[in-house]
A and B are shown apart, each in its own frame.
Chain A
Amino acid sequence: DVKVTQSSRYLVKRTGEKVFLECVQDMDHENMFWYRQDPGLGLRLIYFSYDVKMKEKGDIPEGYSVSREKKERFSLILESASTNQTSMYLCASSLAADTQYFGPGTRLTVL
């Protein structure tokens, strides 16, 4: 079974803080993705990576950066958290262009 884990289920941060969200997958997948889910907007792609040290912007990259130093780990960084980044953050991985498998999500609240 594919397993995608995310470092925290719930996180509360203050405006201006630097926030790290970690994602680890155990299936040797090349591709990894970060999404945010907001009511009425579905899942929107923030960044994705198709190989170690490679990254591409998704549809809403502003205010975020990512890091992929190892194949199994993909980190999302909020350089200076803002209240409009309060959301559910979902990580996913896939083998090439195959089905994406999602982690349980991190509910981030920025006060």
Chain B
Amino acid sequence: DQQVKQNSPSLSVQEGRISILNCDYTNSMFDYFLWYKKYPAEGPTFLISISSIKDKNEDGRFTVFLNKSAKHLSLHIVPSQPGDSAVYFCAASALKSSNTGKLIFGQGTTLQVKP
């Protein structure tokens, strides 16, 4: 039972355009969401997060949107750069019910930004 789903295995965009990566979740207890970026042969690095009390969080070129009613979040990268080419993982946590920080990850989306 996949509680966090990234239904697009891959995405290709042109440099300078917007990249939109999507993530759906099923567990209504999730109240904290994160995006991680992973280059080959490296560990994932934290990118941006959002609490369920917000519907948007922005950090430079990266913005995460949360739609709680649809149980959907998305990561927008504007403008996309070739260095953004990586695998992006969405993750969710139920902070109110657990203080261990256990995360549930999606399958990942491979983003390719073409020069």
Contact = CB atoms under 8 A, between A and B. Distances in A.
**Chain A interface category by residue count:** 20 to 34
Given A48-B102, A94-B101, A97-B93, A42 B43 contact: no
Contacts of B32: 97
Interface stretch (A12-20, A61-69, A73-81, A98-106): A98-106
Range, interface on chain B: 20 to 34
B81 interface: no
B95 interface: yes
Given A99-B49, A105-B42, A42 B107 contact: yes
Given A40-B9, A41-B107, A42-B89, A97 B46 contact: no
A50 interface: yes
B105 A43 contact: yes
A40 B107 contact: yes
Contacts of B8: none
A97 B107 contact: no
Given A40-B9, A42-B106, A43-B89, A100 B98 contact: no
A41 B46 CA distance: 19
Contacts of B103: 45, 100
A46 interface: no
Interface in B83-115: 89, 91, 93, 95, 98-108
27 contacts: A9-B41, A31-B100, A33-B102, A35-B105, A40-B9, A40-B107, A42-B6, A42-B105, A42-B108, A43-B44, A43-B105, A44-B105, A45-B103, A48-B102, A50-B99, A56-B100, A96-B101, A97-B32, A97-B99, A97-B100, A98-B101, A99-B49, A100-B101, A102-B36, A102-B45, A105-B41, A105-B43
